[in-house]
Amino acid sequence: MTLTEGWPEPPAPLPRPVVDNHCHLDTRIRGGALIPVDEALDRAAAVGVTRTVQVGCDLEGSRWAVEVARAQPSVVAAVAMHPNDAARSQTLEADLAEIDRLAADPVVRAVGETGLDYFRTGADLRPLQHHSFREHIRIAKRHDRTLVIHDRDAHDDVLAILDDEGVPDRVVMHCFSGDADFAQRCVERGAYLSFAGTVTFKNAEYLREALRIAPRDRILVETDAPFLTPMPHRGEPNASFLIPHTVRFMAEVLEAPVEELCEAIDANTDRAFGGHWPERVATVT
């Protein structure tokens, strides 16, 4: 099978399997081609990324995530209105009701990505994000789902709303973007810290400091594919099969054996998302 044109070459396989706990298999960037779902999952499994969380950011994407998770045993779904989509929606209450309905499906393990994004949404629309975030927290609790938080330039308000609503049993800080102090504040609330390809960027020493102080049983890894591609492929499209670059870099930062870090990430992801689900066996040649 020839890799879809325009995508980076796959790295060497990891010594133990890990989970990509946040990706968008339905999203294309800069007009690029999508890798077909079966090929994307096979390519990932071939390098040791054997399970996936497909994340919806609006109603269409959330419904698609559920459909894919029903068809692909190695995939579970997360459903939500992304904070920027929530702020722009003209039918937010109906949207939230549909997310509530979708969250009841057994293939849905998480509600998210929800949260706050002060980078793309101005102060006038932030109250809508706050309302949506609160409702997603309540949906996650109602259905006993993991809460997956998108936090961009809004650290203090994210924690304030969490504290006000009451922290769910399982919380994942998607694409963790804070420093060591914020990491400690999140861990104190029981959150898992999910590191994306950004941790490999030259200007991201603050993320590496956060990684170093994170308890080993609270560390996850993700792609946020097709975004946030790790070095050495920054600027190219991202996919789950590139996670080995991030994991190996994280192991260097932690001065830990790659095998041990893989085992920790895999076990942590099971706890973070409410239990194990089947792994994919790669069929690519």
- Give pTM, 2 decimals: 0.95
Q: Tens digit of pLDDT per residue, the chain (285 long)?
A: 445 566 788 999 999 999 999 999 998 765 567 889 999 999 999 999 999 999 999 999 999 999 999 999 999 999 999 999 999 999 999 999 999 999 999 999 999 999 999 998 999 999 999 999 999 999 999 999 999 999 999 999 999 999 999 999 999 999 999 999 999 999 999 999 999 999 999 999 999 999 999 999 999 999 999 999 999 999 999 999 999 999 999 999 999 999 999 999 999 999 999 999 999 987 755
- The candidate with the shortest Cα–Cα distance to 11, out of 236, 242, 246, is 242
- What is the Cα–Cα distance from 205 to 177, expressed in whole angstroms? 11
CA 233 to chain centre: 19
* 259 labeled part of a ligand binding site: no
Domain 18-272: top CATH class: alpha beta
According to the model, what pLDDT value does residue 5 have? 60
146 in Cβ contact with 172 (< 8 Å): yes
pLDDT of residue 158: 98
With the C-alpha atoms ordered 156, 161, 164, 166, is the resulting torsion angle positive or negative? negative
Residue 22 labelled as part of a binding site: yes
Q: How far apart are CA 128 and CA 216, in angstroms?
A: 35
Strands 219-221 and 171-173: unpaired
Residue 82 is labelled as binding a ligand: no
Q: How many CB atoms lie within 10 A of CB 141?
A: 16
The confidence score (pLDDT) of residue 1 equals: 42
113 in a labelled binding site: yes
> What pLDDT is attached to residue 181?
98
Which residues, 6+ apart, have CB-to-CB distance to 273 below 8 Å?
A: 21, 53, 76, 109, 110, 146, 170, 172
DSSP for 241-276, written as a single string: GGHHHHHHHHHHHHT--HHHHHHHHHHHHHHHTTS-
Q: Enumerate the domain spans of the chain.
A: 18-272
Helix axes 258-272, 243-254, angle to 10 degrees: 110
End-to-end CA distance of the chain: 6
SS3 content of the chain, % helix, strand, coil (to 5): 45, 15, 40
| Residue 131, marked binder | no
DSSP 9-42: PP-PPPSS-EEEEEE-TT---TTPPPPPHHHHHH
User: What CA–CA distance (Å, rounded) separates 229 from 220?
Assistant: 16
Residue 245 assigned as binding residue: no
